Amino acid sequence: MVNIINRIRGLGAKKLSYAGRITLINSVLNTLHSYWATMFLIPKVRIGRVEAICRNYFWDGSPDYHIVPLVAWDRVTMPKDVGGLGVKKVENWNWAAVGKLVNWVYTKADRLWIRWISNVYLKEQDWQSYSPPADSPWTWKNVCKVKDKLKDGFGENCWLPNENGYTLKNGYKWLCTQQPKVDWCSLVWNSWNIPKHLIITWPIMQEGLNTRAKLFQIGFCEDNLYLICGDQPETITHLFYECHYSCRIRAALAVWMGRAFPTLTELQNGRTCSLQWKAMTMIFNVYLYTIWHQRNITRLHQSVVRPELLVAQIEEMAGRRGCSKAGPGMSNITNGWLSCLQ
């Protein structure tokens, strides 16, 4: 725990964006315990503490609990295609890692540890139905416990006769609850989108933003009105789609794009392999990020920027991103359309 907290407090980790924090959690924080996680099942209390530190750091940049998360951590640890952020779930990863020891026993790997286990505990017994004696070590009971949990997986996925056999990756994937893919997955996770914008789009799709209507329900605001227009509750629908302020911005962007501003339904049903669709999705993400950023400025500084200035900001960000993605592999029509957005 101390190592994880020290990594958070050092290396300027607090100043990272949400996208940077996700990268740090996956590549550093969730690997500090990986050595021990491959040897035995880490107690649930310790796993809970690790996940709490990672959760607090992701949402607040600190290992301590200060703010209420926008989205539950169980949702964050889901794969991206089912609505999560792809952060590893520590408990499932631990079970999958110990599963490699189970696989060694199944395949009778040429290892000294396997020979010792076979002579002392298994003694020609069937590994599939084996139960450890009451006086066996705690670590061996852990291996047997993981064997029972993964028993169906070894049978259903044919990990044993497979050329590659069991891997930590396919064990972890099997342990994660299988859920249907969300229809907005490609809208958020494609290579054209600017990473820092995704952490706004993602909670929007799950109704997770702390709008004034939401905060008013739990007693954090005196009223639920949107500060920019001042006459309607600040819901996600009103904030991004119905308010006259955002409508003026979308109308100006439609003129700039030379076509109607895309709706969420159109993007969800569009051809995700189309380069023009990716460009439209990127512009849509920039729009959502800019509106939310202006909303926060209004709340903190009681100042509202003219819609024309926000439109110019969106055009600049989207134009730069589109130009960086344009290349010889695109059709002349797509390249010409992107060049018009500069």
pLDDT in tens, the chain (342 residues): 566 666 666 655 667 778 788 888 888 777 777 888 888 898 989 888 888 888 888 888 777 777 778 888 888 888 888 888 888 888 999 999 999 898 888 888 888 988 988 888 888 888 888 888 888 888 899 999 998 888 887 766 566 555 567 888 888 888 887 778 888 888 888 888 888 888 889 999 988 888 888 888 888 888 888 888 888 899 999 999 999 999 999 999 998 888 888 888 888 887 766 777 888 899 999 999 999 999 999 988 888 889 999 999 998 888 888 777 766 555 554 555 555 555
Side chain identity at residue 141, one-letter code = K
Q: What is the CA radius of gyration of the chain?
A: 25
Among 296, 191, 197, 310, residue whose Cα is nearest residue 247: 310
Site of tokens 């670590």:
139
| Residue 58: both structure tokens together | 């992701």
**CB count, 10 Å around CB of 234?**
26
Strand pairing partners for 225? 233
Instruction: Give the span between the Cα atoms of 172 and 194, in whole angstroms.
Output: 29
Indicate the DSSP class of residue 177: P
pTM: 0.81
Question: Per-residue b/e over 298-322, b at no fewer than 16 CB within 10 Å?
Answer: beeeeeeeebeebbeebbebbbebb
Give the torsion sign (CA, 6, 8, 14, 16). Answer: positive
pLDDT at 162: 53
Side chain identity at residue 66, one-letter code = H
| Residue 245: both structure tokens together | 């302020």
pLDDT at 248: 94
Instruction: Give the span between the Cα atoms of 88 and 79, in whole angstroms.
Output: 9
pLDDT at 278: 85
Give the dihedral of Cα atoms 306, 312, 314, 316; nearest 10 deg. -160
End-to-end CA distance of the chain: 49
- Cβ neighbors of 219 (< 8 A, separation 6 or more) are none
| Three-class secondary structure of residue 120 per DSSP | helix
| Three-class secondary structure of residue 233 per DSSP | strand
